[in-house]
Amino acid sequence: MRKKRLEIINFVNLSDEKYRKILEYRNQEYVRTVSNSPEPITVKQHEAYREALKKRDKFFAFLITCDGADYAVINLKKLDDGSFYLGYYLTDELYKFEGGGVAVHNCMMYICDRLKIKLISYDIKPENSRVFRVGQGGEDIAVSGSSEALHHLVRLYSYDDERVKNSKSAKLFNKIYEIKGGDFS
């Protein structure tokens, strides 16, 4: 069986047309439902985000393609505590039924390892039941929250750590996918 080829593309290197397509993906109802801000993103907000990404120290965003087709988006924003807030979504809701969570989780681990990000923060809303069920990537340092969302602060393991390599997620990922390029410039 041929593995699916994943490529990681830095948002700052996307064409204007491709960057506009990202806005369409982000504003899909199923993405907005589980996002911190369920309101649609405006073109003006989207362009302001692109400018912030050019600073390359506080914000990172990547488009993941699978065999050349847009597959997922991973966003990272540096917080005051030194962690990076993680957000991600699949570009098509149906991808979650074909291993999309496994692909995104492993790409996130790969990206964080390459950027030397050791701490991530993320929120899990009750309506987003699929988040991080896909594998062990680190250990919780703190968990807090309310009925609206649980906030996690996680110390990540290295991408090459045996706990990661031997996880069910990594084993499944290695059967289905391969990362063939990463644009971290």
Per residue in 75-105, pLDDT tens?
Answer: 999 998 889 999 999 999 999 888 888 899 9
Q: Where are the domains of the chain?
A: 4-182
- How much is the pTM? 0.89
CB atoms within 10 A of CB 100: 22
- CATH fold of 4-182 reads Aminopeptidase (3.40.630)
Q: CA–CA separation, 137 vs 169, rounded Å? A: 10
Per residue in 6-39, pLDDT tens?
Answer: 999 999 999 999 999 999 999 999 888 878 788 9
Q: What is the pLDDT of residue 185?
A: 62
Q: Which tokens in the block code for residue 10?
A: 């830095």
